[in-house]
Amino acid sequence: MKKRLSKLVALSFVTALTSCASQDFHQYTGVQQNWPTASGTFVSTKYGVPAYYGPPNRPYIVLGSLDATTDRGIGQDAESAVQDAARVAKRMRADAIIVIGSGREQVGTSSFGTASTNSSYTGGVYGAALGNSVYGRTYGSGSSITNMFGSSFGSYQGKASVLVIKFK
């Protein structure tokens, strides 16, 4: 059992380095405890392995903790990070993950803008000379239209901290 567990953890570490944007796996060492269980909890089964949002209802061992961070992007959120963590846990041959915390953080802002101006001027002059006098008139009109548009939006990363577990 001990040899199998150490092979599993070694395989886990290698596979953890080949998925989501970044992850940080910390292997649990020491004596396995009687980790807490609960008679009921929230669980999501839409990922590669079940994601528990509290202690599961049966005994388990902890392989380690995993912090997953998604790539930057507009639609990145906590769910994306939990999904990535579950994918990594599945590659580690874990049975489930327990979500300790998840969220998203703004990691940048993108902005753009544009402006355009159209202008026109029309005018003229006319006049007449009578003897030593010059009589005349000038006229003109002009217009200018400026259009502007700008926008800013945030860039986010999803984050999740989970325990990677195997059921007994």
- Higher pLDDT, residue 107 or 88: 88
Confidence band of 137 (pLDDT split at 50, 70, 90): confident
Residue with tokens 């998840």: 102
Confidence band of 5 (pLDDT split at 50, 70, 90): very low
| pTM, rounded to two decimals | 0.64
Q: Domains of the chain (ranges plus CATH)?
A: 2-108+156-167 (3.30.110.70), 111-150 (no CATH)
Q: What is the largest CA-CA distance in the chain?
A: 121
Residue with tokens 């006229």: 139
Mean pLDDT over 112-140 rounds to: 84
| Residue 74: predicted pLDDT | 61
Q: Is the pLDDT of residue 95 over 80?
A: yes
Question: What CA–CA distance (Å, rounded) separates 66 from 108?
Answer: 24
Q: What is the DSSP letter of 2?
A: H
